[in-house]
Amino acid sequence: MAFPTEYAVSTGFSKGSVFVSRMRKIALLVAIAMAFSVCALALGPDSDRIYAGIDVSAFQGEIDFEKVRQAGIEVVYIRAGLGDDYVDPYYRRNAEGAQEQGLRFGFYYYVTAENADEARAQAERFYDLIQEYEYNCRPALDFEEYSGKSAARINEIGLAFLQRIQQLTGVTPALYTDAYAADRVWDAALGAYPLWVADYGAEEPDVTSGHWEGWSGFQYTDRGSVDGISGNVDRDRFTDTIFVDETPPVEDGYVYHVVRTGETLSEIAARFDVRVERLARLNNIQNVNLIYVGQLLRIPVDDNFIAYVIRRGDTLYALARRYGTTVETLAELNRISDISRIIAGDTLFIPKR
């Protein structure tokens, strides 16, 4: 890297000029080192494939989604509602417009809850608004109203909402937050949920908490401009882990499993015939007795399984017949207690013939 001329060391005999020049050079080197340090600490994407996206609400008014698609937008997040009873007046129109243009889309909900019970009630309201749609992106929590709340209370509210919407949809939801809160407010339990993080003007979000290995969504400006939308719009980048049915279930001898209520690492390891220590090492788990509901685990299976994303209308009986196995085998492998009920969006592991 070439230094600017003004910071070059003087070749004259003035001790003062030499000293000043040296100090300037040292200051520049320190600034460069700090810049590299900031870059190194920034959080990168959790997958290589990046999708151009926006998130919208009633503030954007009527949107021409054909022009949005032609502008190169691939993913649209739509506000469904806010608080106890507010419904975004444009959420249906936005969902239908995005769907008609073949855009991947999903919904977020602005939470105003003061406690866990209110958070669960707002999650149920969210579910009521979105359950009729075949959305592609994970339902997302947008919780920003922290005033008067302790960090413990904020985490209690956020976790209650996320757990309830996951129970209702069968899909691991995403957490939307800003970089500061990702570092200083949310604790490790929230690291089990894909992160959609806002950090305006940054090359990568400045998140160093270690709760997430990478971002699934990055909102990099609230002053974006896109054809088909009047005025400013939030611009985002997303990875494939933000999608409901595109989290890579099988990859080079590995499957991905979302931890469910009551599961332990040792039980999961036994089910897939893997040593607990190996499973912990692959997933950077420091305490083998501590895993979280919704956590995504990478499991080596030596290509012995098919990972199937359940779709609406599927039954365990039909899938067992299709793949040449039994209902009992599928139920045991996937810890299904009620064989008459499987949930759309869940990944079902099926042994190969």
Show which residues are catalytic.
55, 144
DSSP class of residue 238?
E
CB 105 within 8 A of CB 137: yes
d(CA 199, CA 236): 10
CB 319 within 8 A of CB 330: yes
d(CA 346, CA 196): 21
CB 162 within 8 A of CB 171: no
- What is the CA angle 282-286-287, rounded to 5? 115
Cα 31–chain centre separation: 33
Phi and psi at 338, nearest 5°, equal -110, 100
DSSP class of residue 59?
G
Identity of the amino acid at 23:
M
Per-residue DSSP letters for 94-153?
HHHHHHHTT-EEEEEEEE--SSHHHHHHHHHHHHHHHTTS---B--EEEE---TT--HHH
